[in-house]
């Protein structure tokens, strides 16, 4: 068992209390000074909200270029911070004075408990700031200290820089040194809230929650819109969609979603009664875009997100997707447009929506037996001329519900 930073004794008898969690970010460091400063403040606010949502105590959070440091003794903190958008990786670490001697002593204490008889080890050192020694000097001093500590324990240590059994990492900065054993991969992206707000058309299937999460990863706050197709869909479909929204909310503590439920069944009835039956799905999607656009204007949002994936279902051919937006001056984003099903499933499992989205919820009874798959984009407008589109949109929005799930 690897020696972990915890507050309790593990099976190896290793007791090491975490001092600090190192939080690393990527893209933020490339921004101009003013933008980076703003992004970092939002990132720290989001990290604090995530820690608070999980009941993880911390005493202080501070930042240096390229890093945020969380002072906490809770071993859950590194994993929680890694789930904050914008975070590239985290490490639970011990702190030491920024000297070779102090770092070497800390490495020796860790190595003595961590490395077993016959195992090889390596020191991975890096430094930033102004020091009288190099990264190589850090590695040599810390490696010697670990070697000597192991020999005193009666062990026979081995060094392997290419494929060690155990690694000890040392990050020497200007004011402190940080010693840690592992790195937790973060979700990456940009801090949530740095790229404004967008509307997401949420169906509750596999695709739309994944599309929403990917845009959240790029810093976009979301306003979910559920177009309720009752009586053409079961109540289970709505519950599934709402549960997906709740799961996405867990990725955005501190940012309460406003969810819109729009009655869409009456519009479907109009399409079925008045228009060519093959065009029902196209007319349905165009109407959803119009309804979402009204919400977008109300919320001051800047786009609409969909879970469309090219060619995945009959309604998502290139010709149909052209027809869906023809003459609609609406900014629409399809973040999973080129993803295959396996890629979407992998992300759904990662973000916790897969089990929800695969629950049985029935299908849509309004789908025609032979839907149009190669629509003529201009003919769909002629179909809509049979309808009073403005009244249909107005009635739907008038009866919409605004929810805080």
Summarised one tens digit per residue, pLDDT across range 260-290 is: 999 999 999 999 999 999 999 999 999 999 9
Instruction: Tell me, yes or no, whether 320 and 355 share the same domain.
Output: yes
d(CA 10, CA 8): 6
Structure tokens at 359: 């629950």
Q: Mean pLDDT lowest for which of 6-10, 269-273, 293-297, 362-366?
A: 6-10
Tens of pLDDT along 314-325? 778 898 899 999
Residue 332 located in a structural domain: yes
- Per-residue model confidence (pLDDT) at position 34: 92
The pLDDT of 32-49, averaged and rounded, is: 95
Instruction: Tell me, yes or no, whether 166 and 68 share the same domain.
Output: yes
Structure tokens at 90: 């985290």
Structure tokens at 263: 């009655």
Residue 236 located in a structural domain: yes
The pLDDT of 93-120, averaged and rounded, is: 95
Residue 2 located in a structural domain: no
Q: Is the pLDDT of residue 6 over 50?
A: no
Which burial class, exposed, middle or buried, applies to 162 when counting CB atoms under 10 A from its CB (0-12, 13-18, 19+)?
exposed
Q: Is the pLDDT of residue 371 over 90?
A: no
Instruction: Write the secondary structure of the chain as one string of H (helix), E (strand) and C (coil).
Output: CCCCCCCCCCCCCCCCCCCEEEEEECHHHHCCHHHHHHHHHHHHHHHHHHHHHCCCCCCEEEEECCEEEEECCCCCHHHHHHCCCCEEEEEEEEEECCCHHHHHHHHHHHHHHHCCCCCEEEEEEEECCCCCCCHHHHHHHHHHHHHHHHHHCCCCCEECCCCCCEEEEEEECCCCEEEECCCEECCCCCCCCCCCEEEEECCCCCHHHHHHHHHHHCCCEEEEEEEECCCCCCHHHHHHHHHHHHHHHCCCCCCCCCEEEEECHHHHHHHHHHCCHHHHHHHHHHHHHHHHHHHHHHHCCCCEECCCCCCCCHHHCHHHHHHHHCCCCCCEECCCCCCCHHHHHHHHHHHCCHHHHCCCCCCCCCCCCCCCCCCCCCHHHHHHCCCCHHHHHHHHHHCCEEECC
Tens of pLDDT along 289-308? 999 999 999 999 999 999 99
CATH number, residue 367: 3.40.50.620
- Per-residue model confidence (pLDDT) at position 2: 36
Instruction: Tell me, yes or no, whether 159 and 212 share the same domain.
Output: no
Q: Is the pLDDT of residue 14 over 60?
A: no
Last residue of a domain, one of 185, 213, 233: 185
Instruction: Tell me, yes or no, whether 120 and 239 share the same domain.
Output: no
Q: What pTM value is reported for the model?
A: 0.91
Instruction: Tell me, yes or no, whether 349 and 298 share the same domain.
Output: yes
Last residue of a domain, one of 157, 185, 213: 185
Residue 6 located in a structural domain: no
Sort strands 197-201 and 221-228 into parallel, antiparallel or unpaired.
parallel
Instruction: Tell me, yes or no, whether 339 and 364 share the same domain.
Output: yes
Residue 52 located in a structural domain: yes
Instruction: Tell me, yes or no, whether 180 and 202 share the same domain.
Output: no
Q: How many domains in the chain?
A: 2
The residue with greater pLDDT, 197 or 13, is 197
Last residue of a domain, one of 185, 212, 237: 185
Instruction: Tell me, yes or no, whether 42 and 167 share the same domain.
Output: yes
Instruction: Tell me, yes or no, whether 262 and 384 share the same domain.
Output: yes
**Do residues 326 and 376 lie in contact, with contact meaning Cβ atoms separated by under 8 Å?**
no
Q: Is the pLDDT of residue 396 over 90?
A: yes
Residue 10 located in a structural domain: no
The pLDDT of 344-367, averaged and rounded, is: 95
Q: Mean pLDDT lowest for which of 2-11, 204-213, 330-339, 394-403?
A: 2-11
Instruction: Tell me, yes or no, whether 230 and 295 share the same domain.
Output: yes
Residue 15 located in a structural domain: no
Instruction: Tell me, yes or no, whether 251 and 342 share the same domain.
Output: yes
* Range of the structural domain that residue 283 is part of: 197-403
Residue 12 located in a structural domain: no
Sort strands 184-185 and 87-96 into parallel, antiparallel or unpaired.
antiparallel
Structure tokens at 84: 């904050």
The pLDDT of 133-139, averaged and rounded, is: 97
With CA atoms as reference, report the closest residue to 5 among 72, 81, 89: 72
CATH number, residue 111: 3.30.2130.30
Q: How confident is the model at residue 7 (pLDDT cuts 50, 70, 90)?
A: very low
Instruction: Tell me, yes or no, whether 242 and 270 share the same domain.
Output: yes
d(CA 166, CA 245): 41
Q: Mean pLDDT lowest for which of 118-127, 188-197, 247-256, 376-385?
A: 376-385
């Amino acid at each position: 068992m690897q020696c972990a930073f915890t507050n309790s004794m593990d099976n190896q008898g290793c007791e090491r209390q975490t001092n600090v969690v190192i939080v690393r970010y990527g893209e933020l460091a490339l921004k101009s000074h003013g933008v980076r400063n703003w992004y970092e403040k939002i990132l720290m606010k989001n990290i604090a909200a995530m820690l608070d949502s999980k009941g993880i105590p911390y005493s202080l959070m501070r930042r240096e270029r390229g890093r945020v440091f969380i002072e906490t003794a809770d071993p859950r903190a590194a994993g929680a911070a890694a789930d904050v958008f914008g975070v590239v990786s985290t490490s639970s670490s011990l702190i030491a004075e920024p000297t070779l001697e102090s770092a070497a002593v800390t490495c020796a204490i860790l190595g003595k408990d961590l490395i077993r008889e016959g195992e090889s080890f390596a020191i991975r050192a890096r430094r930033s700031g102004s020091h009288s020694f190099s990264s190589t000097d850090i590695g040599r001093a810390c490696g010697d200290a670990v070697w000597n500590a192991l020999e005193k324990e009666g062990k026979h240590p081995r060094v392997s820089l290419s494929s060690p059994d155990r690694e000890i990492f040392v990050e020497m900065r200007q004011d402190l040194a940080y010693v840690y054993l592992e790195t937790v991969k973060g979700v990456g992206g940009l801090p949530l809230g740095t790229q404004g707000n967008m509307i997401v058309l949420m169906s509750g299937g596999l695709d739309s929650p994944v599309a929403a999460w990917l845009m959240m990863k790029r810093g976009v706050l979301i306003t979910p819109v559920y177009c309720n197709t009752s009586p053409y869909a079961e109540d289970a479909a709505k519950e599934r969609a709402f549960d997906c929204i709740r799961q996405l909310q867990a990725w955005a503590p501190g940012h309460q979603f406003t969810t819109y439920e729009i009655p869409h069944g009456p519009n479907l009835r109009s399409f079925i009664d008045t228009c060519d039956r093959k065009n029902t799905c196209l007319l349905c999607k165009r109407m959803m875009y119009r309804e979402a656009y009204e919400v977008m204007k109300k919320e001051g949002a800047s786009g609409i997100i969909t879970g469309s994936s090219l060619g995945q279902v009959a309604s998502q051919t290139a010709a149909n997707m052209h027809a869906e937006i023809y003459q609609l001056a609406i900014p629409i984003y399809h973040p999973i447009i080129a993803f295959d099903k396996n890629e979407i499933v992998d992300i759904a499992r990662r973000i916790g929506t897969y089990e929800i989205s695969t629950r049985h919820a029935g299908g849509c009874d309004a789908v025609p037996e032979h839907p149009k798959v190669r629509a003529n984009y201009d003919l769909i407008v002629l179909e809509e001329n049979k309808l009073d589109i403005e009244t249909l949109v107005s009635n739907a929005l008038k009866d919409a519900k605004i929810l805080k799930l």
